Every structure is written in C-alpha cells, then in structure tokens.
Structure 1
Amino acid sequence: MSDYYETLGVPRDATSDQIKKAYRKLAMKYHPDVADDAASAEKFKEIGEAYAVLSDDKKRQMYDLGGDPLRGGGGPGMGGFGFPGGAQGFDVGGLFDAMFGAQNSRGPRSRVRKGQDALVRLNLTLAEAAFGTTKPIRVDTAVLCPSCSGRGAADGGEPVTCTTCHGAGDVQTVQRSFLGDIRTVQPCPSCRGYGTVIPHPCGECSGEGRVRSHRTINVKIPAGVSTGNRVHLDSQGEVGPGGGPAGDLYVELSVSPHPVFKREGDNLEMVARLPMTAAALGTEVWVDTLEAEVDGTLPEDARVQLVVPAGTQSGARLVIAGRGVPRLRGAGRGELGVTLLVQTPEGLDERQRELLRQLAEARGESRPEATVSRGANPKGFFSRLKDAFAD
C-alpha cells in the first residue's frame, strides 16, 4: 500500500484546502486527456485513490489509524470512492464533480414559463399627444390556447411522468474505460428535460399551451407625451409556454408633424399673417388654438384673442400663457407663441396709392434710405418664419 500523503505530496497535517490544491495540480498533469501513456494513467488512478481517502474526514481518520478504506476495513459499500466494485471501479465523473463543484443533475424544468415582452408602435396627431387620448391597437402575439387552457393536453388530459427518466428530467449514461466508469448527465431525450410527457397533445397548440392570435387593446395615452415615449402595459405581452404568465407590452409613440403648430418642449409655436395697417395701428385678432381639433372643446377654448400693439414689426413674437402643451410630469401647461408676419399690401388702386404717398410725405419717407441695425441677430426671426415663407 502506497502512502497517500506521499502520493499527493502533502504533509500528514495538511489542511483540506492543501489536499484539494495538490490533487488539482496532479490531476491536471496526469489526466488521460493530457498524458496518454500507461504510466500516467496508473499515476492518475493512484492520486485519485489518495484524494478519495484524504478528502473524507472519516476515511482519513481510519487511514491515519492504520486502516485502508479502499482495501478493506472501511465497511460495506465504501470501496472504490463509496461505490460498489472497490477501487477498480471508482467514478471519475463524480470525482471531478466533487472537485470542481459540478452538479450531477439539473432536475426537471418546468413546462410553464413566463412569456416574452412585446413592442408595438403607435402614431399620434399633435392634439392626441398634447391632450391625451384612448386609442385601439391591434397586436399579433401569443395567447392562451382556448382548447386546452394552457395545459397542452387534449380532452382535459394532464402530463404524465416520463418513463425514461422517471420524472428526473435528466438521464445518466455510463461509459466504460480502463480507469473505471465515466458517468455523464444530459437532458432526457424522451421528455426534453421536462420530467413529464403529454400522451395526447392538444390539436390546436400541439402541446405548447398557447397559440398565435390577433387581438385589440385600448391604450390610454396620457397628456403631454412626445415622440419616443413608451406606454407600459403590464401582463399584456406574449403568454408564456405551458400557459405561463404573460410578459409586458410596450407601446412606442410617434407624433406626426402639424401643418400649423410646431412643438418645442411644452410650448407651441405658430405664425400669423397680419396686414401692414393693422400692425401699424394696433389691433385685436382671434387665433385658433390646438384645442379646436379636440372633440367636445368649448368655444372659449377653441379660440383666443391676441392683442397686437401699435407699431408691431414683422417677426415679433407674442405670448399667450397657458395655451401650450400640458406637462407630462407636473402641473400646468406651456405657452403659445405667435410670430407675426406683417404683409405689404398688393394690388392697390389709384386712391390707395395716393393715400400711401400722402402718408409717406407726412412721415418724411418719400425717398428713404436703407439702414442696417448693427448687432442685430436675425437668425431667430428667420428660423421662426422659414415655414411661412415656403407657403
């Protein structure tokens, strides 16, 4: 009988960590996949026997007292790493599982699993995005099978225990080698790891417990949303396999451009044309608001009166507070900005021309000279009016 401590190269008072570390180092060196000569194979078997004894506190105590658990004196059933057949039939797979923490069995996996989340896209008008709405959407997704209610079995049947793996979900295969029996664990081929089989699958879902279907969902859109925002609908996604709980549904929003209003954050911007005379003398005009496009809007909310001061210049921006977009997070609304485009009269008759000439003479503008305002920045003005000039 060889000395197990010498075989592993550790002192007799070595700790369990020292023994495991020494064994790992030697096992990697003499493993049959690395060294294929007969001497290495024999050495690998010796270090395996030594580790089997010294890594077990009871076997090590027996060995230190002069016994050998692998060759008698260890009690029935303790030969060969605790398996029948003695040292010549030890389980190399079990030894490596113990050394590296692998598990011999994963157990049966459930047929019932949660479904995946789903994503759909929805287009909105600017008014719908600003003030909120409820829109129906059509979703193509997995739903609970109406025939078997998710069980997967026909005629009210139920899954039965697999006769191949006896419900374990895994099967163990044994391969003989000169080192002994090498055992591997893999999913059961009969039940695919479920541990159960369905003798008579549902004809509509083929045992899946769910089917593809179209359904319509009413989605409530909160006021103040914008392009890129998502509405989260809990448990409205795909039903899981085996009739498992549904995932979530996400509705991604896209807002279409408006022919009159442009949104900038919580503000609305628009351009209004105004005759030159009205801009010079000052006036009051009615402006349609975005609320005019919402059904059921009161007349006082559909229009708002805008006061234009005398001498207003083209490009001036007047503000109407509280007529912008409701804030998505928080109270209140943005503002409505109205940029005025002062229009020069066209198609004048002779009397109108004479009146304008008299006005020009009275103001000393019969032969005016163009002036340049130093430091003026017309960028904002042209930015606001570029769409208007394109008309």
Structure 2
Amino acid sequence: MAKRDFYDILGINKGASPEEIKKAYRKMAIKYHPDKNPNDKEAEAKFKEAAEAYEVLSNPDKKARYDQFGHQAFENGGRYGGHHMNMDDIFSQFGDIFGGAFGGGGFSGFGGGGGQRRVKGSNLRIRVKLTLEEIANGVEKKIKVRRKAQAKGTTYKTCTTCNGSGQVTRITNTILGRMQTATTCNVCGGAGQIIDKKPADADAQGLKVVEETVSIKIPAGVVDGMQLKVAGKGNDAPGNGVPGDLLVAIEEEAHATLQREGDNLHYDLYVSLPNAILGTSEEIDTVTGKVRIKIEPGVQSGKILRLRGKGIPSINGYGKGDLLVHVNVWTPKTLNKEQREFFESMREDEHFTPKPESTDKSFFEKVKDMFS
C-alpha cells in the first residue's frame, strides 16, 4: 500500500514554515492522542503517521531529502522508514509538542503502561563506501558495529525517587495558585529504573561494548551523502529502554572510467583517426559489465552516443538513467615522414575539407540535448 504524502498528512503545503509545521502536527497529535482515543487502533495509526511526517518535515536536512527523493529517501525497501517508531519513540522525541495538554506528556491509551516513559539509547553513525556497480544493482552489506548492549547478569529495580515513572512532579504555590511541573528524574535519567546488580565489566548503566555484525540492505540508486536508518541497531538503553538506531551514511567511490550525473552515466571514448574515418566497434564499460558498440564511418569528435537504460536506477522507482558515450577522435601528435607526406597531399582534398551538415549539432546543442 502506497504511503501518503507527509504534507497531506499534516494538511500543509511545501512552503510551510517550521512554526506552521509544528502547529499542524500538534493539532493532529492532540486530535488522535491516545488519552482521547483509548484502544482505538485507527487513531493509533493516524497518531503514528502524523509523528512520522513531523519527524521528517521538522528536520531541515530530512525535509530537503524528502522533497527531492520522496519516501524512498528514508524507507529504502521498507526497512529504514520512520514508521518503525513506536509510541515510546514518539513521546520521547516530541513530548514537548503537547505541552501540558495531557498531564506532562505521559500516556495511558494504546497499552501505554501507566504513564512510564521509556528512555531511548543513543544512535550510532557509520559511513559505508559503495562502488558504482553496487549503487546500480543494490547490495546487502554486512558491517561490524561496536555498540553498547545490556551486559549479562545486569538487573534493575524501580527507581524510588520517581516510583518508576521516569519523571518527578513538583507542586509550587504561586500568587496565581498552585502550579504543577514535571521534570526528568535526575536519579534514573528518565528510565524509571536503577541498577540493582551488574557484572564488573559493565559500565555504570549496566551496559557493555560488544561487536555485532549488522546486515544492511542498500537499495539501487542511492546517492552520495544519503543517510539510511537501521532501527534498533544503535546503543541499548538501560533498563527497559528502547535501543537507538544505526545511521548509515552513503559514500560513493569514484569509478575508473564512468562519471555519474544524477541517474545518467558518462563515458569518454577515444577513437583513432583511421577508425573514425573507416568505422569500427569498441568495447566500453557499463555498470553491468562490458558491452561492444558500433562506431559508424566518418564519426565526428564530440558526438554523443546514448545507450538507453544503461545508467543508474532512480531511487524513486522511475526507471533507469542512460549511459552517454562521448566520442573523442584522437589526433596523433607525431608523424613519420611517410605519414606526413600523405597528410600533406590531403590538405586540399575535398574529402578532408570540413562540411558540417544540419545533423552535425554544435557543442551547445549537444549540451542542451544531454540535459533535456
């Protein structure tokens, strides 16, 4: 089922300001908040949908990638999208949006667990280098990641300061009356639990650094600088917290003969003068292997041959780009006596006199065609 447009979900246009985006999300979040719609699965889905839209559109970098690539910029085959957010993620990240409308951001609907707020572990960031062939075909990478995981033998007990809620409520008498404020518990850090027992090699939070192999499915068509998210593969959180995410930054390696431009590829083909005059066939590189192309007799330097569908697949699923072969006729810089005499005799020959035809486009026309 196709995902809805984030702007449509929040009822805003692409030119909306950050404040308008926040206001629109708050309106939707309050409308479908679990405390107003207990045990309502449809409201839960809409609540999560609005949170996913806000997570992307409220972040300038994510918003720019979404505007350019759509849902594929974050979903990538369904593994890395924000729809993996659970209710704890939403309230831990966007609880301040609700202000005091729901008693400090806690929730009881949707199986929320009596208002306890689960802490999320920190994210990890790695950079993955990909060849042009891997980008063109998609690839699954197995990466070793050092992450903090809960140490075996670690046990927790309920924090007595906040009674497991993760928050401390204070009531202050003011000239305007009694005011209630809720802050994160400074003893458990909002986890609601504190260490009971832990092994000697664990840190103060009961976590231990381990090396884990993570499998990352990278879809075809990713671009340099794009960031993918593998949910739950970051650092663990103490107690019953939610693991952080693994953020994967894509780095494209330079190719020996191919140059990428969006979904199109460019190849510089150098042809000798005799082959340009007589015609030939040449073997060139593509991202799926070598192919042989025919060079017609009398080919002109600067001619562009277009191999359709031999480029990079669109990240949005709009087909493939093309491979543009730029023909360069190689003129020899040194000649022996016999060769020099031959070309001297051809100076005035009509066959060697330039006679461009209407089909021989100028440099600017070729550039225009290339980008159209």
Task: Indicate the TM-score class for this superposition, using the shorter chain for normalisation.
Answer: 0.5 to 0.7
The residue aligned with 2:325 is: 338
Separation in structure 1 between the aligned mates of residue 222 and residue 127 of structure 2, nearest angstrom: 14
Establish whether residue 128 from structure 1 lines up as the match of residue 134 from structure 2: yes
CA displacement at 1:146 relative to structure 2: 2.2
Q: Go from structure 1 to structure 2 and tell me whether the alpha carbon gap of 1:320 and 1:196 turns closer, same or farther (over 3 Å shift).
A: closer
The residue aligned with 1:320 is: 307
Separation in structure 1 between the aligned mates of residue 306 and residue 179 of structure 2, nearest angstrom: 81
The one-letter amino acid of 2:301's match is S
RMSD of equivalent CA atoms:
4.6
The one-letter amino acid of 2:273's match is M
Deviations 1:140-161 (A, max 9, x none): 332122232xx34xxxxxx268
Q: Go from structure 1 to structure 2 and tell me whether the alpha carbon gap of 1:216 and 1:344 turns closer, same or farther (over 3 Å shift).
A: same
Q: Contact between 1:261 and 1:268, CA under 8 Å: does it hold in 2?
A: yes
**Secondary structure class of the residue paired with 2:210:** strand
The residue aligned with 1:117 is: 123
The residue aligned with 2:7 is: none
Q: Which runs of 5+ in 2 are unaligned?
A: 1-99, 107-113
Deviations 1:204-227 (A, max 9, x none): 435624333333312221111111
Q: Go from structure 1 to structure 2 and tell me whether the alpha carbon gap of 1:272 and 1:243 turns closer, same or farther (over 3 Å shift).
A: same
Separation in structure 2 between the aligned mates of residue 330 and residue 235 of structure 1, nearest angstrom: 27
Separation in structure 2 between the aligned mates of residue 193 and residue 348 of structure 1, nearest angstrom: 81
Q: Go from structure 1 to structure 2 and tell me whether the alpha carbon gap of 1:210 and 1:251 turns closer, same or farther (over 3 Å shift).
A: same
Q: Go from structure 1 to structure 2 and tell me whether the alpha carbon gap of 1:357 and 1:146 turns closer, same or farther (over 3 Å shift).
A: same
Separation in structure 2 between the aligned mates of residue 191 and residue 349 of structure 1, nearest angstrom: 86
Separation in structure 1 between the aligned mates of residue 133 and residue 251 of structure 2, nearest angstrom: 13
Q: Contact between 1:231 and 1:250, CA under 8 Å: does it hold in 2?
A: yes
Separation in structure 2 between the aligned mates of residue 127 and residue 240 of structure 1, nearest angstrom: 38
The one-letter amino acid of 1:231's match is L
The number of residue pairs the alignment matches comes to 256
Percent of pairs identical after alignment? 30
Q: Contact between 1:112 and 1:241, CA under 8 Å: does it hold in 2?
A: no
Establish whether residue 258 from structure 1 lines up as the match of residue 235 from structure 2: no
Q: Contact between 1:209 and 1:243, CA under 8 Å: does it hold in 2?
A: no
Q: Go from structure 1 to structure 2 and tell me whether the alpha carbon gap of 1:204 and 1:370 turns closer, same or farther (over 3 Å shift).
A: same
CA displacement at 1:136 relative to structure 2: 2.7
The residue aligned with 1:205 is: 202
After the TM superposition, which residues 83-162 of structure 1 pair with which residues of structure 2 at under 5 Å, given as runs?
113-148=119-154, 151-152=155-156, 159=157, 162=160
Q: Which runs of 5+ in 1 are unaligned?
A: 1-99, 153-158, 176-181, 292-301, 384-391
The one-letter amino acid of 1:360's match is R
Deviations 1:120-156 (A, max 9, x none): 22222222222222223233332122232xx34xxxx
Separation in structure 2 between the aligned mates of residue 189 and residue 231 of structure 1, nearest angstrom: 33
In our comparison, the structure showing a higher alpha carbon Rg is 1
CA displacement at 1:359 relative to structure 2: 3.3
Q: Contact between 1:118 and 1:247, CA under 8 Å: does it hold in 2?
A: yes
Deviations 1:33-66 (A, max 9, x none): xxxxxxxxxxxxxxxxxxxxxxxxxxxxxxxxxx
**Secondary structure class of the residue paired with 2:120:** coil
CA displacement at 1:111 relative to structure 2: 8.6
Q: Go from structure 1 to structure 2 and tell me whether the alpha carbon gap of 1:364 and 1:123 turns closer, same or farther (over 3 Å shift).
A: closer
The residue aligned with 1:329 is: 316
CA displacement at 1:198 relative to structure 2: 5.1
Separation in structure 2 between the aligned mates of residue 124 and residue 380 of structure 1, nearest angstrom: 34
Q: Contact between 1:289 and 1:303, CA under 8 Å: does it hold in 2?
A: yes
Separation in structure 2 between the aligned mates of residue 197 and residue 361 of structure 1, nearest angstrom: 94
